[in-house]
């Protein structure tokens, strides 16, 4: 719905100049290989720096050790889209790392619900710390434990999430957010349920930076009185 809204109401329209940033998490946004515009959007480009505005952040998150499978729902432009349209040949899924739009791996500033509830459904129970410790705050942060980078390989184009061990803070081998049905992880969903949680702190910083860039550009374009 967000992609269609932008296509019909913003992309290439006069109001595009009012856009600070578009964040499309868990969306298969089509772009030509090696390009940042020309697929689903004709004039809106992908973000490449934190000091850029009027651009798009799009990604599909998967555990690094569990990339998109053949039947993946995300990370690949190989299936009918949300509107029933056939995939466009030679297109790939866009990936912009909110924590590092210019590319490369970096630490994530994640915010997870401490009671195991996501925006869509309850998550699998997670002991955030071993041995378990009662957590009274509504959110949990995992400093130094989660890293991400955009990856393009035979599996698709996706935000690969890695877990880094840290003395005294051992994580379970899975990341909260795996989609589970009848006790079995569904790899085709990746970490779709926690796309927002994984990068929430990074998004807050990125959008603040983009807002600053937008206001600076608007000030330069404002006619002198």
Successive 10-residue mean pLDDT values, the chain, 225 residues: 94 95 94 92 96 96 94 84 65 96 94 71 65 83 91 94 65 62 87 92 96 88 60
Q: Is residue 123 part of a domain?
A: yes
Q: How many domains does the chain have?
A: 1
The pLDDT, as a whole number, for residue 153 is 92
Establish if 16 belongs to a structural domain. Answer: yes
The residues, ordered by sequence, that sit 6+ positions from 136 with a Cβ below 8 Å of its Cβ are none
**Within a domain: 225:** no
Q: Within a domain: residue 165?
A: yes
Which two three-digit tokens encode residue 81?
């889209």
Q: Is residue 222 part of a domain?
A: no
Helix, strand, coil shares of the chain as percentages rounded to 5? 20, 20, 60
Asked if residue 221 belongs to a domain, the reply is no
pLDDT number for residue 169: 45
Hey, CA dihedral for 63, 64, 70, 72, is it positive or negative? positive
Token pair in block for residue 8: 């019909």
Q: How many CA atoms lie within 13 A of 110 on its CB side?
A: 27
Is position 224 within any domain? Answer: no
Question: From CA 26, how far away is CA 177, in angstroms rounded?
Answer: 13
Q: Domain residues for 143?
A: 2-216
Is 223 within a domain? no
């Amino acid at each position: 719905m967000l992609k269609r809204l932008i296509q019909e109401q913003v992309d290439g329209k006069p109001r595009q100049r009012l856009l600070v940033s578009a964040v499309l998490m868990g969306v298969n946004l089509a772009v030509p290989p090696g390009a940042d515009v020309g697929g689903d959007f004709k004039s809106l480009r992908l973000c490449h720096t934190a000091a850029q505005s009027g651009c798009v952040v799009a990604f599909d998150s998967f555990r690094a050790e569990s990339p998109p499978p053949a039947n993946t729902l995300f990370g690949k432009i190989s299936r009918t889209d949300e509107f029933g349209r056939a995939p466009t040949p030679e297109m790939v899924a866009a990936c912009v790392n909110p924590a590092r739009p210019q590319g490369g791996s970096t630490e994530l500033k994640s915010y997870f619900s401490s009671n195991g509830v996501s925006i869509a459904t309850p998550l699998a129970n997670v002991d955030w710390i071993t041995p378990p410790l009662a957590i009274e705050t509504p959110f949990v942060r995992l400093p130094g434990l989660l890293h991400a980078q955009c990856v393009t390989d035979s599996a698709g184009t996706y935000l690969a999430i890695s877990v880094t061990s840290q003395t005294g803070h051992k994580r379970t081998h899975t990341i909260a957010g795996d989609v589970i049905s009848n006790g079995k992880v569904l790899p085709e969903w990746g970490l779709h349920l926690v796309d927002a949680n994984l990068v929430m702190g990074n998004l807050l910083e990125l959008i603040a930076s983009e807002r600053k860039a937008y206001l600076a550009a608007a000030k330069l374009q404002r006619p002198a009185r």
